[in-house]
Structure 1
């Protein structure tokens, strides 16, 4: 397929991005070309747009960024046999090597040679995207495009929450960005007895409430550790899902966890964090887990089924829709924290 398309380009090593007309991708034999129907803005995209230290060390403009999407296959490569024109898909964004020790033992999500679509390669903030067929996930026909586009970040929430048992347990979600808010809904669907959501942003705390949080806590107004202890008869919460990456909030998470509890960390602190390992981890017998991405493809099955069964309703989280041309409005809202998920429509 030849021609030009509109795409959001990270055009230089600095803040911002531009809408440009570029060539429609030419697919390889093992890839498919997808007509993008919806693409959502991720926190990672905001880092790239704002051009922070992480972005400066990782990405190489100019290129099309963005990695969360849903769309329809319009062309399949010569070696692709399991997808065809008209298939409705989304994609796992981790491109794996298949031959490192982790891949060879089925731990694809922690492949030591991982590259990420839209970060290390061309992305999906565009009318069309080229994606390896091995990374595609077929969507239910009746799933709306906008909801299908946020399955990838929801997978992060599912992986974090379900890394251990939560049924009948108290769960604290620290950091109510979109993935944290999704984690609230997942924890409730998985049978958590009490879900506490912590943040400084009232807008997003209210979204967490809509997604099922039993208690929302503005950490600037109430001591989070004291509140968590108060709501658990002084014992502390059973599970902490750390989504904030803020050093103070992370320390509070380890202080509110009960003896023998689990702390699952998805967030990415920008600098080293000071934790009292002796008293808050070792003497408590706490299980600490680093969470990266989604299990391929176990997590995708869980996400798709939770959405299709309506056990988790993410519609309250999708707060804004814009045409691709108005992408700057979406990034402005994300930077101000005055939105849930922002979906762009090419």
Structure 2
């Protein structure tokens, strides 16, 4: 297929993005061309849109933004056999080398040469995207496109929460952005006894309650450490999932976890964070787990099963939908924190 398509392009090294007409991508023999049906805005997209310190050191405009999507296969290369034209699909967004020690030992989610769709390559805030067939995840035909488009970030939350045992545990979720909200629902579905959700936006805290949080805490109006101390009888949270990337919240997460507990960190701080390693890690004997992406493809199977089961209220997460041309409205809501998951429709 040849021609032009509309796309949201990070057009310069500064704040914002713009709609442009760009070439429809041409596929290779091991790739498929996908017509995008729904795409959703991620916190990483917001980092790039705002042009913060992290994005300034990572991305190279101009290029098409976006990495979360669902769509229909409209073309396939001659070496593609795992999907057919007309299939409903999403994609694992980490493009990995398959040759490094991590890839060869079953840890390709931390491949040494990972490239991320919409960060290091052309993204999906467009009408079409071309991707290697090995990255394609086939969706059930009955799965709505909006829900199918949020599986990738849902997988991040699955990986973060299920990296440790949460059954019967006190789980603290710090940061109730869309992935934090997903983590709340996943922790509850996985059998956590208490799920404490922390944020500074009332809108998102109310969503956290709908997702199953047993306690919501406005971190500016309450002392998070005192709240956890009360709920845990002074022991601390068994598991802390840090989803915010805020330096103060990260430090609080290490202080609120119990001796021998687990801190799983998905949030990306813009700058280095000073942690009291002696008192908050070593002498407490805790485990710290850095979370990147999804286990390929164990997490995808867990994600698909959790969504299909209905045990996590995924529909509650999707609060706004705009056309692709209205992308600025979606980014504004994300920056303000007055939304759950924002869907864009090409």
Count how many residue pairs are aligned between Structure 1 and Structure 2: 346
SS at match of 2:72: strand
2-structure distance, mates of 1:226, 1:321: 38
Which segments of 5 or more consecutive residues in structure 2 lack a partner in the other structure? Answer: none
Alignment of 1:226-265 (within 5 A): 226-265=226-265
Which segments of 5 or more consecutive residues in structure 1 lack a partner in the other structure? Answer: none
2-structure distance, mates of 1:58, 1:12: 13
Alignment partner of 1:285 is 2:285: yes
Alignment partner of 1:216 is 2:216: yes
Q: CA deviation at 1:343?
A: 0.2
SS at match of 1:302: helix
**1:213-252 deviation per Cα after TM superposition (whole angstroms, max 9, x unaligned):** 0000001111101100100111111000011111211111
2-structure distance, mates of 1:118, 1:295: 19
**1:159-206 deviation per Cα after TM superposition (whole angstroms, max 9, x unaligned):** 000001101111000111111110000000100000000111111111
Which residue in the other structure is 2:121 paired with?
A: 121
Alignment of 1:156-235 (within 5 A): 156-235=156-235
Normalized against structure 2, the TM-score is what?
Answer: 0.99
2-structure distance, mates of 1:32, 1:121: 16
SS at match of 2:80: coil
SS at match of 2:74: strand
Tell me, yes or no, if the aligned pair for 2:194 and 2:214 is still in contact at 8 Å: yes
SS at match of 1:5: strand
Tell me, yes or no, if the aligned pair for 2:52 and 2:270 is still in contact at 8 Å: no
Q: CA deviation at 1:51?
A: 1.4
2-structure distance, mates of 1:179, 1:140: 22
Normalized against structure 1, the TM-score is what?
Answer: 0.99
Alignment partner of 1:9 is 2:9: yes
2-structure distance, mates of 1:51, 1:61: 11
SS at match of 2:106: coil
**1:274-314 deviation per Cα after TM superposition (whole angstroms, max 9, x unaligned):** 22221211121101111110000000000010000101121
Which residue in the other structure is 2:317 paired with?
A: 317
Which residue in the other structure is 1:67 paired with?
A: 67
2-structure distance, mates of 1:249, 1:59: 26
Q: CA deviation at 1:18?
A: 1.2
Q: CA deviation at 1:99?
A: 0.5
1-structure distance, mates of 2:264, 2:47: 22
1-structure distance, mates of 2:275, 2:10: 36
Alignment partner of 1:338 is 2:338: yes
Which residue in the other structure is 1:298 paired with?
A: 298
SS at match of 2:271: coil
2-structure distance, mates of 1:227, 1:311: 27
1-structure distance, mates of 2:30, 2:320: 34
2-structure distance, mates of 1:269, 1:9: 24
